[in-house]
Structure 1
Amino acid sequence: MAAASVETREKSELRIFENLDDLATDLAEYISQLSEISVRERGSFTIALSGGPLVGLIGKLCEAPYSMTVDWTRWYIFWTDERAVAKNHADSNYKTTKERFLSKVPILNSHVYSINDNVTVEDAAGEYEFAIRQLVKLRKLGVSESNDCPKFDLIILSMGPDGHVASLFPDHPALRVKDEWVTFITDSPEPPPERITFTLPVINSASNVAVVVTGEDKATAARAAVSGKCERTDCSSLFPARMVWPIDGTLAWFLDKPAASDLGNAEH
């Protein structure tokens, strides 16, 4: 059960949980409900995942009742960002997701879109964007009427202690990319340095965006991103999570108590 669930800023919901198990349970229900709605209305469910601890938190979906009730054959899986490493490398988001999630549910292999790990990071980003554009042409993936970007049913992000989401890091030029759906970086402040990432216009075009934040080391960034309280005038570039704001969609924050510890009375 959520420790608190309140509205915070327009079209944004804040959910705070006593522990990770409660957060994972609520997150699974949230994803399941969106999947059911999308499949019923459009015949498919397009979801983009981040790496890190997020994969472990969505593990509840592999258990009953979701393992039996979710229409897995209608799912299309993407990654908001990926490290430019081999698919069997320990740093690969695909490898982690495959081992901890994809191998446990009957999602069709042809519906899983991983990056090409045999080309340069620049070419990998270009190929990934091309694959997304093909799905748009096939009408498996919607398009935002506001900016012609792909409209994923759900994008799930995790946030780093520095406030980064996907592979969009504080004050990085990638934050300002407007004319591409997928871009690449070669200077990530966290290893490995080469990565591809969705751009902000794509993230903000999703029908639903969920940001999952856990751990006390994220408390300062969570305060700046969620509550809007920041003493600096350039907070958005310093905390990229503040720039996540769906144009025509909804935003849900999932925080555990330690991550929410610096929010003061924001959860009441």
Structure 2
Amino acid sequence: MAHPAPHPPILYSFPDAGSLVSSLASFILKAQKEAVEKKGRFTVALSGGSLPKMLSGLIGHPSVKWDKWHVFYADERVVPLDDPDSNHLLCTDTLFSKVAIPPEQIHAIDTSLLDDLEELADTYEKELIREFAQKDAARFPVFDLILLGMGPDGHTASLFPGHALLAEDDRWIAWLDDSPKPPPKRITFTYPVINHALRVAFVASGAGKVEMLRTVLDEPEKGLPSSRVKPVSPGQLYWFVDDAASAAVQYSRTAFKL
């Protein structure tokens, strides 16, 4: 059965980092509230880079129900969890060490499998299956929220321009050993997983993102990895950016309100 056409992305642009961070926190809290009221849990996937520090507006906020969060990684570098390249280490240092998410609800990779990428990816996929399959009975997991960043080449998660994984439409978790940026070995959500989420939010800030953000939003036909994030209905894609990043974008902005 064909899915309805994706909703157009919603672009929010803020004058500075402070207003971006506080608005993103409000947005996440609304998603949390709806998820917890509906099913008693909040399923979130995070990527690395500058994204974890953008979640600082949640730390200490009285409305966050950390005990309801179930956290996965949209992608992860195949390194030990204490390696400086680890997204898990970055998220732990920046966020998890400061909040009260039960450790068993933060799903890191199995580091006993670092030498077997196929098994590592399969094992992480089974983590998703345990969380979603019995509860949601869907072909792909339906996250309440996936939070993504965008690289300077337009990549997102570990989906890179021109890579064969852009066409992967069956597996939930894929692996690669030829990432164009180090480290080369990674696992990543595939587009079917990303695009079945109820909400996907990109976060991008700074003048360094200005040309790539313009290309992704104004020229999606170029097919850059970030442009290929198109959640199927009823899912919705959001962009949380600052005015420095969106300075060249023609795509229409939406005033932020909840």
Q: What is the TM-score when the length of structure 2 is the normalising length?
A: 0.91
Give the counterpart letter for 1:93 in structure 2. Answer: N
User: What is the CA–CA distance in structure 2 between the aligned matches of 1:10 and 1:122, rounded to whole Å?
Assistant: 34
Change over 3 Å in CA distance of 1:149–1:265 after alignment to 2:
closer
The structural deviation recorded for 1:143 is 5.0
Q: Comparing 247-256 with 76-85, which one deviates more in the overlay?
A: 247-256
For the Cα contact (< 8 Å) 1:128–1:182, is it kept in 2? yes
Aligned twin of 1:14 = 11
User: What is the CA–CA distance in structure 1 between the aligned matches of 2:49 and 2:168, rounded to whole Å?
Assistant: 24
Listed as ranges, the matches of 1:95-110 within 5 Å are 95-110=89-104
Give the counterpart letter for 1:246 in structure 2. Answer: P
Aligned twin of 2:70 = 76
> Displaced runs of 4+ in structure 1, greater than 6 A?
none
Aligned twin of 2:144 = 153
Listed as ranges, the matches of 1:22-171 within 5 Å are 22-63=19-60, 66=61, 68-119=62-113, 120-139=116-135, 142-144=136-138, 148-171=139-162
The structural deviation recorded for 1:214 is 1.5
User: What is the CA–CA distance in structure 1 between the aligned matches of 2:47 and 2:215, rounded to whole Å?
Assistant: 21
The structural deviation recorded for 1:215 is 2.1
The structural deviation recorded for 1:11 is 4.2
The structural deviation recorded for 1:138 is 4.1
The structural deviation recorded for 1:255 is 1.0
1:210 aligns with 2:201: yes
For the Cα contact (< 8 Å) 1:154–1:210, is it kept in 2? yes
Per the alignment, in what secondary structure is the counterpart of residue 111 of structure 2?
coil
User: What is the CA–CA distance in structure 2 between the aligned matches of 1:193 and 1:20, rounded to whole Å?
Assistant: 31
Give the counterpart letter for 2:127 in structure 1. Answer: A
1:251 aligns with 2:217: no
Q: What is the TM-score when the length of structure 1 is the normalising length?
A: 0.88
Per the alignment, in what secondary structure is the counterpart of residue 108 of structure 2?
coil
**Identical columns (%):** 36
Q: Which one of the candidate residues 238, 241, 251 is aligned to 2:226?
A: 241
1:177 aligns with 2:168: yes
The structural deviation recorded for 1:266 is 3.5
CA RMSD of aligned residues (A): 1.6
1:188 aligns with 2:179: yes
User: What is the CA–CA distance in structure 1 between the aligned matches of 2:26 and 2:56, rounded to whole Å?
Assistant: 12
The structural deviation recorded for 1:265 is 6.7
User: What is the CA–CA distance in structure 1 between the aligned matches of 2:59 and 2:8, rounded to whole Å?
Assistant: 29
Change over 3 Å in CA distance of 1:265–1:80 after alignment to 2:
closer
By relative contact order (CA 8 Å, sep 6+), the higher-ranking structure is 2
The structural deviation recorded for 1:60 is 1.1
For the Cα contact (< 8 Å) 2:217–2:251, is it kept in 1? no
The structural deviation recorded for 1:122 is 2.3
Change over 3 Å in CA distance of 1:109–1:138 after alignment to 2:
farther
For the Cα contact (< 8 Å) 1:16–1:256, is it kept in 2? yes
For the Cα contact (< 8 Å) 1:162–1:218, is it kept in 2? no
Change over 3 Å in CA distance of 1:143–1:167 after alignment to 2:
farther
For the Cα contact (< 8 Å) 1:143–1:151, is it kept in 2? no
